[in-house]
Amino acid sequence: MSNRYKTTTEEIFGIAGIQINGNNPWDIQVHNDEFYKKVLTEGELGLGESYMEGWWDAEKVDEFIYKLLQAHLDEKIKLRLSILIKLFLTRIFNLQSKRMAFNNGERHYDLGNDLFLNMLDKRMNYSCAYWRDAKNLDEAQENKLELICRKLSLKSGMRVLDIGCGWGAFGKYAAEKYKVEVVGITVSKEQIELGKKLSKGLPVEFRLMDYRDLDGKFDAIVSVGMIEHVGYKNHKTYFKVANKCLKDDGLFLLHTIGSNNSSYNINPWTNKYIFPNGLIPSVAQIGTGIQNLFVMEDWHNFGVDYDKTLMEWYNNFRANWNQIESKDSERFYKMWEFYLLSAAASFRTRRNQLWQLVLSKNGVSGGYQSIR
């Protein structure tokens, strides 16, 4: 039976030009024969877990995953029943409810600020950078923040809402350079604790709250890397809240990872180990969410920049591993390595995109001028 699993795996990987124990940087080196059954019966979950256990490796894990995705091998593996049932349940239940939102946030963003301090840029941006004319990660992330501010036409004295503010990178930058007042919300206590320190002395307010509890009016709204945690069942609610909080002449900038296809299932490995109950929206799902609420003014795709951003995060994570407190587990290291490198591969294949949308409530008089 084990030989059959191995033979089948070799045949499937061969479609992508991957050789088991081969000499190319993307070839997989298998150290435990249990790998074959696990990957064939559990798909992405089995591939990720077996990597965490040290059952396989590759000189260039990102290139290995890239070739798998490019050949659509993930669509050729049938998952075992227990995983299919879990995927089915994600369609039945609202896994991004208000009660679940704080739990989801704690499992990722409250891992400890030291992890992110050693992985991200100096401003603590945990989202795609904008690499046009940038020489390094710090410059590319400042480019992104500047791009957002210009797209929103920020002016001194404005009051801006940041839905899913992280450690306050946008708020700090916008308050410093554009002299605006920013209110940021997050479900992570760790983010608020560090964010307040980083933005000390600036008109940047942090609130520990769910987006569904928002109230008040703002001149502009920004939401970076947040809607991926909202879930398709809650898209309409999310956009209704944004509409309610935005002044009639204001602009709403949405920065999100995007999927080429509408999906209602959560990647089993990513869901279990990285982003509990996260779900990447599609063009159709966003379109349904904003219908009768917003005018689409601008849609900008720079998804290829996320490949480079993730590889920079990986290089920082690897270089600073010894400085990350309480994370001395080899299994934890391999988990985050697999996450960062497989995510980079997904953008490299153009499976995933990175979109910035500019939305208005009533249409910009005379038309919106796109900024790049």
pLDDT per residue rounded down to tens, the chain (372 residues): 468 889 988 988 998 999 999 999 999 999 999 999 998 888 889 999 999 999 999 999 999 999 999 998 877 665 444 434 443 444 555 555 566 554 544 555 556 788 999 999 999 999 999 999 999 999 999 999 999 999 999 999 999 999 999 999 999 999 999 999 999 999 999 999 999 999 999 999 999 999 999 999 999 999 999 999 999 899 999 999 999 999 999 999 999 999 999 988 777 899 889 988 889 999 999 999 999 999 999 999 999 999 999 999 999 999 999 988 655 688 999 999 999 999 999 999 999 999 999 999 999 999 999 999
- Strand pairing class (56-58; 159-163): unpaired
The 3-state DSSP class for residue 220 equals strand
User: Which pLDDT value is given to residue 147?
Assistant: 98
Helices (H), the chain: 2-15, 34-52, 61-70, 81-92, 98-109, 113-117, 137-151, 169-178, 189-198, 235-245, 268-273, 283-290, 304-319, 330-348
Domains of the chain: 2-79 (no CATH), 97-360 (3.40.50.150)
Give the pLDDT confidence score for residue 8 in this predicted structure. Answer: 87
Contact predicate 254/359, CB 8 Å: yes
Contact 370, 347 (CB under 8 A): no
pLDDT of residue 106: 54
Instruction: Tell me what pLDDT residue 101 has.
Output: 53
Q: What are the angstrom distances between the C-alpha of 335 and each of 22, 27, 78, 161, 358?
A: 24, 19, 23, 34, 35
User: Which H/E stretch holds residue 246?
Assistant: strand 246-259
CA distance 182 to 222: 10
The vertex-329 CA angle with 107 and 309, nearest 5°, equals: 65
Taking the whole predicted model, whether its pTM rises above 0.75 is answered as yes
Distance CA 286, CA 233 (A): 11
Question: Is the Cβ–Cβ distance between 244 and 293 less than 8 Å?
Answer: no
Measured between alpha carbons, how far is 340 from 322 in angstroms, rounded to an integer?
18
